[in-house]
């Protein structure tokens, strides 16, 4: 290791993401004046191939021994730039990032102030970089098994793909059967196939697969470990299950329309949910349309109300549930077929038919003379045997009173009531709507903040069956990556003891959550097992003799960052 | 001091919750004052007492320590260690005649970008009210 730091600093424009707010040229010029900096440049996209090549060529041409990239969050591209450095022969831990996008350009609008802040952030990281030490990359083995939580369509699909790839899978389901919410349905849009015909074979394949262990009537109570080596405690199973990856497919709750008492659900027999309608339609197929009777009479006027519990800011459900428009089109069509005399009206805000074949299906419903009326119903009350829907027609701008015999509330989806429990069990963040949070809404919709834990289906947000299955297959293939590789990178930035300084007080042994610290019986000094150490730094902060250093975050490095920030 | 006083805040954020929360504030484009400068650590439990004391002695106007909510620590209990340490540290700061209100410990999760932005905004306003850290002048020759 050269004693003299020779630092290359690279300021990324990120297109206009950074450059629009931060004067990147000025930051690069400033960086060139910092102690230890040999070369400082700005470039349109540092993470692009030419951007990375620029760094690699500089490492060789200028004999750089440290690299600082000022761009996005290290949580985004640290592996990219560490990899680029490594390819050019630089130890990956000698590459450090300054976050001038998420924590500067995107949160400030004043160009002068943002540029100023970016300069100090770069100065701070350059100061740390000058004191960086090379660390050895380490890998640990992977338990080549997976666990899927939730036995619905998402969970079954994910389990099946992992099992087909040749790895054992545990499928944990809280209820006494597989199938999830889909098992509650009768026919699906847009093909009108019977759910039983589709779900039956899928369930059969899962149950009979030699690589899948189905655990019904139970739940996950504890999750320890990390990607590659999770220990999952399942109630009723004696030993914790060792697995390398987890797929979360816990689904959703159906919105309970009693939370909108003005719609009279539970009060009038005329008002039912779409799920109850699904059951009645199933029964009608068996025993005729009589099961649709309300108060002993077949309905002459049937109304469907969409967006019940969806797109409702007051309820805290600002999102669209994505399936209600289509299942309402399906149910209204089936009612028209079963009761050709009945008038069927759908009240809607907007009709959203984005799935494949959905728009065509909706057209078909209207051809079968399902009436669509744009307007929201604000209240339902009783008049004799019927109910009155009071609302506003938003095309005519006029209030209406609409008489109906049967009203179907198209209830939406919401996060499961127990989502918070699982969230704290797995330390899995949730978005503001309460569904589990993917790392990036566009680019990484299946990954979570917890490495080795992947999302499938409606636990991440409302979606229909094809989207659920697509995500489940994506989650399965992501989960297969560590299983197939057989190793995962282990923490290199572990704590180390200076035995000359250690007084053997044992406080590190007490604070270590992983049992990595131990007192050497002969010398009475602390020893830290690098395999068990996760690099949290609790021991280093606790050690009264300052004999323990957390590598890559040493007091020397951190305090240099502080000094540099002060300018 | 003819110019309007703008406090300097150094923030030590844990990698797993608050740093990620600050990233989320960014990806959500939630605006907050540029007075905060973030230093990334792995865990709030690794915040050494000197990390808080040194900036204060050097004239920084505020130190923010951000960690995971109780029960959510990536390293099981680092945030509890941070809490105990900061409580003790504040006592020491007070007894040494400094202003312990300049040190804030806050739990901000990876999904609380809004809360991070609000915390920085509030802390900046609070310190603007309070005025500069007297250590600034004392060290200026």
Domains of chain A: 7-135 (3.40.50), 146-252+415-488 (3.50.50.60), 261-402 (3.50.50.60), 495-551 (3.30.70.20)
Answer yes or no: are the C-beta atoms of B35 and B60 closer than 8 Å. Answer: no
Phi and psi based region of residue A472 (left: phi greater than 0; alpha: psi -120 to 50; beta: remaining): alpha
How much is the CA Rg of chain A, to the nearest whole Å?
30
Answer yes or no: are the C-beta atoms of A390 and A380 closer than 8 Å. Answer: yes
When pLDDT is cut at 50, 70 and 90, the band that residue B1 belongs to is very low
Q: Hey, are the CB atoms on B50 and A109 less than 8 Å from each other?
A: no
Answer yes or no: are the C-beta atoms of A346 and A373 closer than 8 Å. Answer: yes
Q: A11, A48, A17: which is closest to A30 by C-alpha?
A: A11
pLDDT reported for residue B138:
61
Q: Is B108 at the interface with chain A, CB within 8 A?
A: no
Contacts of B110 in chain A (CB under 8 A): 429, 437, 449
Q: Is the pLDDT at B140 greater than 60, yes or no?
A: no
Q: A161, A79, A208, A84: which is closest to A484 by C-alpha?
A: A161
Q: Hey, are the CB atoms on A566 and B60 less than 8 Å from each other?
A: yes
Provide DSSP, A496-514: EE-TTT-----HHHHH-TT
Q: Is B71 at the interface with chain A, CB within 8 A?
A: yes
Q: Hey, are the CB atoms on B117 and A437 less than 8 Å from each other?
A: no
pLDDT reported for residue B111:
86
Q: Is A116 at the interface with chain B, CB within 8 A?
A: yes
Answer yes or no: are the C-beta atoms of A183 and A155 closer than 8 Å. Answer: no
Q: A53, A49, A30, A52: which is closest to A40 by C-alpha?
A: A30
CA distances from A321 to A36, A311, A326, A372, A443 (A): 55, 8, 11, 19, 21
How many A/B residue pairs have CB atoms within 8 Å? 140
Task: Give the single-character DSSP code of B94.
Answer: H
Is B129 exposed, middle or buried (CB count within 10 Å of its CB: 0-12, 13-18, 19+)? exposed
Higher pLDDT, B116 or A431: B116
Query: Residues in chain A with pLDDT < 70?
Result: 1-3, 567
Contacts of A108 in chain B (CB under 8 A): 31-32, 34
Give the residue extent of every domain in chain B: 9-136
pLDDT reported for residue A449:
79
Task: Select from 3.40.50, 1.10.10, 2.60.40, 2.30.170 the CATH code of B9-136.
Answer: 3.40.50
Q: Where are the beta strands (DSSP E) in chain B?
A: 9-14, 36-41, 62-67, 103-107
pTM for the full model?
Answer: 0.72
Quick one: angle between helices A195-208 and A153-164, nearest 10? 40
Does the interface ipTM go beyond 0.90? yes
Task: Give the percent of chain B with pLDDT over 90.
Answer: 82
Answer yes or no: are the C-beta atoms of A146 and A169 closer than 8 Å. Answer: yes
CA distances from A456 to A8, A246, B48 (A): 42, 11, 40
Task: Give the single-character DSSP code of A125.
Answer: H
């Amino acid at each position: 290791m050269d004693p003299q730091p020779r630092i290359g600093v690279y300021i990324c424009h990120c297109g206009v993401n950074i450059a629009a707010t931060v004067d990147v040229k000025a930051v690069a010029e400033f960086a060139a004046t910092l102690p230890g900096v040999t070369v400082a440049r700005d470039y349109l996209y540092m993470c692009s191939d030419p951007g990375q090549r620029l760094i690699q060529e500089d490492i060789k041409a200028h004999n750089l021994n440290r690299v600082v990239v000022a761009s996005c969050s290290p949580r985004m591209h640290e592996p990219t730039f560490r990899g680029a450095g490594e390819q050019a022969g630089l130890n990956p831990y000698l590459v450090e990032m300054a976050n001038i996008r998420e924590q500067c350009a995107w949160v400030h609008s004043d160009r002068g102030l943002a540029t100023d802040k970016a300069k100090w952030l770069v100065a701070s990281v350059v100061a740390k970089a000058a004191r960086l030490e090379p660390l050895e990359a380490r890998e640990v083995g992977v338990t080549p098994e997976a666990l899927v939580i939730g036995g619905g369509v998402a969970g079954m699909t994910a389990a099946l793909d992992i099992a087909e790839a040749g790895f054992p899978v545990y499928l944990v389901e809280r209820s006494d059967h597989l199938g999830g919410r889909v098992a509650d349905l009768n026919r699906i849009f847009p093909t009108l196939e019977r759910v039983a015909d589709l779900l039956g074979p899928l369930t059969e394949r899962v149950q009979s697969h030699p690589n899948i262990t189905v655990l019904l009537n139970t739940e996950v109570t504890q999750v320890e470990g990390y990607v590659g080596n999770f220990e999952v405690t399942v109630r009723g199973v004696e030993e914790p299950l060792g697995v390398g990856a987890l797929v979360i497919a816990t689904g959703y709750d159906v919105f309970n329309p009693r939370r909108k008492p003005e719609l009279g659900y539970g009060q009038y027999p005329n008002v039912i949910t779409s799920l109850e309608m699904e059951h009645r339609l199933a029964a009608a197929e068996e025993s005729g349309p009589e099961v649709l009777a309300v108060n002993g009479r077949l309905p002459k006027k049937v109304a469907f109300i969409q967006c019940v519990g969806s797109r409702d800011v007051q309820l805290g459900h600002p999102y669209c549930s994505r399936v209600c428009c289509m299942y309402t089109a399906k149910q209204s069509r089936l009612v028209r077929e079963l009761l050709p005399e009945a008038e069927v009206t759908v009240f809607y805000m907007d009709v959203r038919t984005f799935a494949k074949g959905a728009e065509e299906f909706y057209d078909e419903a209207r051809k079968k003379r399902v009436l669509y009326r744009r307007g929201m119903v604000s209240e339902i009350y009783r008049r004799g045997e019927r109910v009155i829907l009071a609302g506003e027609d938003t095309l005519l701008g006029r209030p209406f009173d609409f008489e109906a015999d049967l009203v179907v509330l198209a209830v939406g989806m919401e996060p499961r009531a127990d989502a918070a429990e699982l969230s704290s069990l797995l330390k899995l963040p949730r978005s503001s709507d309460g569904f589990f949070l993917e790392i990036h809404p566009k680019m990484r919709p299946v990954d979570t903040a917890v490495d080795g834990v992947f999302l499938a289906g409606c636990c991440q947000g409302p979606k229909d069956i094809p989207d659920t299955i697509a995500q489940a297959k994506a989650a399965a293939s992501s989960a297969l990556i560590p299983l197939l590789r057989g190793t995962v990178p282990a923490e290199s930035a572990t704590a180390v003891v200076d035995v000359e300084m250690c007084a053997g007080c044992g406080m590190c042994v007490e604070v270590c959550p992983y049992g990595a610290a131990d007192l050497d019986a002969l010398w009475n000094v602390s020893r830290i097992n690098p395999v068990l150490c996760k690099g949290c730094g609790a021991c280093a902060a606790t050690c009264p003799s300052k004999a323990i250093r957390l590598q890559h975050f040493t007091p020397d490095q951190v305090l240099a960052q502080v000094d540099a920030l002060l300018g | 001091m003819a110019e309007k006083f703008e406090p300097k805040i150094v923030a030590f954020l844990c990698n797993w919750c608050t740093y990620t929360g600050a990233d989320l504030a960014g990806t959500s484009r939630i605006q907050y004052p540029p007075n905060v400068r973030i230093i990334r650590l792995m865990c709030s439990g690794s915040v050494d007492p000197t990390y808080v004391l040194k900036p204060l002695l050097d004239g920084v106007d505020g130190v923010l320590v951000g960690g995971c909510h109780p029960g959510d620590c990536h390293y099981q209990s680092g945030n509890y260690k941070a809490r105990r340490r900061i409580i003790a540290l504040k006592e020491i700061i007070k007894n040494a005649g400094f202003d312990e209100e300049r040190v804030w410990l806050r739990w901000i999760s990876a999904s609380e970008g809004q809360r991070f932005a609000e915390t920085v905004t509030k802390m900046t306003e609070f310190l603007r009210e309070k005025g500069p850290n007297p250590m600034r002048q004392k060290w200026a020759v």
